[in-house]
Amino acid sequence: MASVSQIQSSYTWQLHPEYIQNTPNRKFKNDYIMKEELGKGGFGTVIWCVTIDGRKELAAKINNSPDKKASMLMEADFSRDLSFDANNPTVRPHMNLVNIFDSITEGDIVYNLYEMASGGDLMEAINENEFFTAVDAAIAIKQILDGVHFMHERGILHRDLKPHNILVQGRDIQVYKVTDFGLCCKREPNGQGQFIAKAHGNAGTPQYQPPECHIPPNEYDTDFDIWSCGCILYQMLAGYPPFFDSDAAKLQASIRDVDFPYPSPEWENMADAKDMIDKMLAPIENFDQIDHTGARVYPKARYNRQTYAQLITDKFYTDGAAKHIRT
């Protein structure tokens, strides 16, 4: 049986030639056959379809109203930037992203066609299993972080990472793929891998937003997605997110204060996992700062939020990398 690492090394993906060439006036029905509905969202519907020759299965994301057209086209542009580089054909699409194959616009309707991931999403996997073992969570977070880092290298922030936006491919060997690029933003990276200007705005899903979304001037860069990945890792291991409250003000306060629990018994004997989570769910800087009363601003924080380059040296990540090679 092939390992995840072997699957990754052999992974290839190519876009439809007419999509690369921007061929005008194309018709969906000339190239694809719809099979059945896979799901619905605020944007519209996802349909399982096949190419006209029956050789490739795809997921077609279709907007349900004209006002969604612009966001669908923008999502296609982000996806294309991640899947294809006209200026550097040696850049390969990343296995841990759901890559686009084609995009067709007919009037107000946009068809964005992506590779299929037949195993559902990470939220379904968490609910089915109640929680992940440390080994399985390490394998998953390694892949998720690797996919997100590839996005960052391409100058793109995701800004809505959560279990629903991680798809699972395969049964015996599971490959985790980041999807849903509708809230992405494009930044220009400098030579150190950071963005020249920080992004602004209140993006994403409240439970997975970092403190920066709630603290003026509401600026962030790659650290936004690192925080969200920390929330995902916590949820895989516990079965529930680290921050949750039906009261929006209380939810925001706990996020601002970096205040989340490790209750027993689910967090017993999980020192390595908790250490990595603490490096992701952390203030951007000055984790040990003192306020005017002499009390710590973040009494539970042990680190500043770490970068991808730092996290890949963490024991929990390297354990996942080792299993990634052998499994």
Residue 177 labelled as part of a binding site: no
Annotated catalytic, 288? no
User: How far is the C-alpha of 157 from the C-alpha of 172, rounded, in Å?
Assistant: 31
The answer to whether residues 277 and 234 touch, using CB atoms and an 8 Å cutoff, is yes
CB atoms under 10 Å from CB of 220, counted, come to 24
The answer to whether residues 42 and 62 touch, using CB atoms and an 8 Å cutoff, is no
User: How far is the C-alpha of 118 from the C-alpha of 116, rounded, in Å?
Assistant: 6
Q: Which residues of 81-94 are buried (b: 16+ CB within 10 A; e: fewer)?
A: bbbbeeeeeeeebb
The answer to whether residues 203 and 183 touch, using CB atoms and an 8 Å cutoff, is yes
Catalytic residue among 31, 160, 180, 319: 160
Six token digits for residue 15: 């876009």
User: How far is the C-alpha of 162 from the C-alpha of 144, rounded, in Å?
Assistant: 11
The answer to whether residues 115 and 101 touch, using CB atoms and an 8 Å cutoff, is yes
Q: Which DSSP category does 326 fall into? A: H
Six token digits for residue 324: 């990634």
User: How far is the C-alpha of 225 from the C-alpha of 246, rounded, in Å?
Assistant: 23
The answer to whether residues 197 and 187 touch, using CB atoms and an 8 Å cutoff, is yes
Tokens 């998953």 locate to 140
The helix (run of H) or strand (run of E) holding residue 156 is strand 156-157
Q: CA angle, corner 220, sides to 219 and 222, nearest 5?
A: 170
The answer to whether residues 244 and 251 touch, using CB atoms and an 8 Å cutoff, is yes
- Binding residue positions: 61
| Annotated binding-site positions for ATP | 61
Point out the residues that are catalytic. Answer: 160
